[in-house]
Structure 1
Amino acid sequence: MAVLVALAALAGLLSGRYVRVLAGGFTDADPDADPRAAPDAVPHADPDADPHAAPDADSRTGTRAVPGLDVRAEARAAFGRALRTWPVPAWPPTVEVATAAVAALVAWRAGLPYVYLAVAGTALALIDWRTSRLPDAITLPSYPLLALSLLPTGEVPRALLGAAALAAVYGVLWLVRPAAMGLGDVKLAGLIGMAAAARGWEAWAVAAVAGQLLGALYALALLLTRRATRDTQFPLGPFMLLGALVAVCLEG
């Protein structure tokens, strides 16, 4: 087990470099920005900007409305740049170390089949936190890739049922209050439901509740510290993924 965890940590450390570069390819600001520029930086990130300010969100796509932005070209450029990158951690290696830690934890508690979700989830959490976007270019291909990685568990049928069920739950929440979450969150919920259900229905239930609970606690903390109002919006994806991490790491 120790060897497998060490291998997962190494894989996460190397993959973290790709996560860093890939995340830097998705922007939320200037529609005229070249997504191929500045491979290790989030384009046009303003260090003085309020990260909790309500985004100009498109509730039908789950992404920020960026006029004139060609999301397909942006994704192609981001993936192309990542593929041309050597897996050597940048300095400071915060993203790389975080990816390694999540991969090692998941491998220890759940097994190697879940390491893919650890890496993809870290990328999605980073992108959503910085840009309030969950790119389809990462979320949608992750469905078949995660299903393939779960084949050794023998739980793919239950995983697919869990994906459909949690996506349906979030779909209802989106229909009831589309301003509170985006369609990207609904797509992410299906991915989380797939991984959690493969661990068991108890894990699925934890994943279904934990993301909303963690997001609510974060919102409460912002209100108590007067850093936000009741109308302030923030990305839900990172909290959903953190809840999924807790669920997947439960004992099976």
Structure 2
Amino acid sequence: MVALMALAGLICGRLIGALADSYDEDPPHYDQGRARLLARSPRTSVWPAAAPAGGAVELVTAAVAALVAWRLGLPYVPFAVIGTALAVIDWRTCLLPDAITLPAYPIMVVALAPTGELPRALAGGAALTAVYAVLWFVKPDAMGLGDVKLAGLIGLAAGALGWQAWIVAAFCGQALGALYGVALLLTRRGTRHTQFPFGPFMLLGASTTLCLGW
């Protein structure tokens, strides 16, 4: 089953690369918050990022799908694939498209239903959405609404494993984003005003937490 999920991830990775290219080539898809990021001077923004080397997206998607299938089982594979797609697109374009994020909610609900933890998953999704909504309200220039919608997906996946997993997943995303910001300062590639896509760090923190067995 793990091998099959790796093969499925390899195929999905090819589609993810093409999808990222389509958003990268069509700037009108950007929402206003993300457009402001791209409109800033190079002194305050380091995006958009260059496209990854050929085959990298496919290999990463295959590895993530296989790892999640091995550690957590099939119900979490959709989160792995969708999360990889959102991370790649956000990293390259500073965009978390509603066309992917919103349909992912019913997909995750159906996938998690057999686990018997759907009520807690829904509560986790609502709670993490509320937390990020408050963060966005307090400082809208530092976070887009796409991050708020993504938080709900992460809350669903982590909540199904328990509140300890939920807390760690939420904290890890913030911690990884902060560490990357510090790295930009130390390497002089950015300043304290530099903005970068936060979705990949949210997803990396959540995936790491889930795969560690919380």
TM range (shorter): 0.7 to 0.9
Which residues of 2 match residues 1-252 of structure 1 at below 5 A? 4-27=1-24, 31=28, 58-59=32-33, 63-64=34-35, 92-252=54-214
Secondary structure, in 3 states, of the residue corresponding to 2:140?
coil
Aligned pairs, number: 199
Alignment check: 8 A CA contact 1:28 1:132 kept: no
Q: Is the 8 A contact 1:64 1:131 kept in 2?
A: no
Residues 54-96 of structure 1 show CA distances to partners (whole Å, capped at 9, x for unaligned) of xx9734xxx3269xxxxxxxxxxxxxxxxxxxxxxxx832111
Counterpart amino acid of 1:140? L
- Mapped to 2, the partners of 1:18 and 1:214 lie a distance apart of 27
Structure 1, unpaired ranges of 5+: 36-55, 67-90
8 Å CA contact 1:28–1:131 kept in 2: the answer is no
Which AA in structure 1 matches 2:24? T
User: What TM-score do the two structures reach when normalised by structure 1?
Assistant: 0.75
Counterpart of 2:123, as a letter, is L
State the shift of 1:150 in Å: 0.8
Larger Rg: 1
Q: 1:189 offset after TM fit, Å?
A: 0.2
Equivalent position of 1:88 in the other structure = none
What are the Cα deviations for residues 139-173 of structure 1, in whole angstroms up to 9, with x where unaligned?
00000001111112111111100000000000111
Regions of 4+ moved over 2 Å = 27-31, 56-59, 63-66
RMSD: 2.0
One-letter identity of the residue aligned with 2:102:
L
Cα displacement (A) at 1:30: 5.0
Distance 1:163 1:225 in 2: 36
AA in 2 matched with 1:168: A
- Any idea what SS the aligned residue of 1:64 has? helix
> What amino acid does structure 2 have at the position aligned with 1:236?
F
Q: What is the aligned partner in structure 2 of residue 78 from structure 1?
A: none
TM-score (structure 2 length as normaliser): 0.88
- Aligned-pair identity (%): 64
Partners of 1:19 and 1:28 in 2: CA distance: 14
